[in-house]
């Protein structure tokens, strides 16, 4: 085998006379390490995404004090995975709800539950048992915003 240097690149001529590029061992090792890293990263990031999905998530997007009171105004983003049912609970305020995506089924006390679809609004009832709240859709996530006033030391939703 004859080795020639061309433009600082290492080339080798094989038995049939074809010019082939020969990579240094360091480069091959670097490429192998990169491939292994990408493979494991893709595998484990997918597993952590699957493991990270919670049935119900609540994120407080904004919290501002209401001057002269012990109250705060909160904006809360809530997501219910498909088919998830909330346990019975109650709210400390009559929060304003806006459905961003999906369908919500909601009912208080003995009233018949109602359906609310993307783009619709409804009010929570303060200190009344919220007996039914669920995402009735088995395929789509329910996402909605709540705007409510809460005492600074209490959560908006209380599960007994």
Per DSSP, the residues of the chain read: -EEEEETTEEEEE-TT--EEE---HHHHHHHHHHHHHHHHHHHHHHHHHHHH--SEEEEEEEEEE-TTSSEEEEEEEEEE-TT-BPPSBEESS--EEEEEESEEEEE-TTSPPEEEETT-EEEPPBTS-B-EEE---SSS-EEEEEEEEEETTS-SEE--
Q: How confident is the model at residue 72 (pLDDT cuts 50, 70, 90)?
A: very high
Q: pLDDT digits over 133-146, tens only?
A: 999 999 999 999 99
Residue 160: its pLDDT value, please?
83
Domain spans in the chain, listed from the N-terminal domain onward:
2-52, 56-158
Predicted structure pTM score = 0.66
Above 70 in pLDDT, residue 55? yes
Of 7-16, 72-81, 139-148, 149-158, the range with the lowest mean pLDDT is 7-16
Q: How confident is the model at residue 13 (pLDDT cuts 50, 70, 90)?
A: low
56-158 carries CATH number 2.60.40.1180: no
């Amino acid at each position: 085998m004859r080795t020639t240097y061309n433009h600082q690149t290492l080339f080798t001529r094989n038995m049939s006379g074809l010019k082939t590029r020969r990579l240094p061992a360091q480069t091959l090792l670097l490429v192998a390490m990169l491939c292994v890293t990408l493979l494991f990263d893709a595998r484990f990031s997918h597993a952590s995404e699957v493991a990270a999905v919670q049935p119900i998530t609540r994120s407080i997007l904004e919290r501002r004090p209401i001057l002269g009171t012990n109250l705060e105004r909160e904006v809360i983003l809530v997501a219910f995975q498909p088919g998830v049912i909330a346990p019975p609970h109650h709210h400390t305020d009559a929060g304003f709800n806006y459905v961003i995506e999906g369908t919500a089924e909601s009912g208080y006390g003995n009233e018949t539950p109602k359906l609310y679809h993307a783009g619709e609004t409804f009010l929570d009832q303060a200190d009344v048992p919220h007996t039914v709240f669920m995402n009735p859709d088995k395929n789509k996530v329910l996402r909605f915003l709540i705007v409510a006033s809460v005492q600074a030391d209490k959560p908006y939703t209380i599960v007994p």
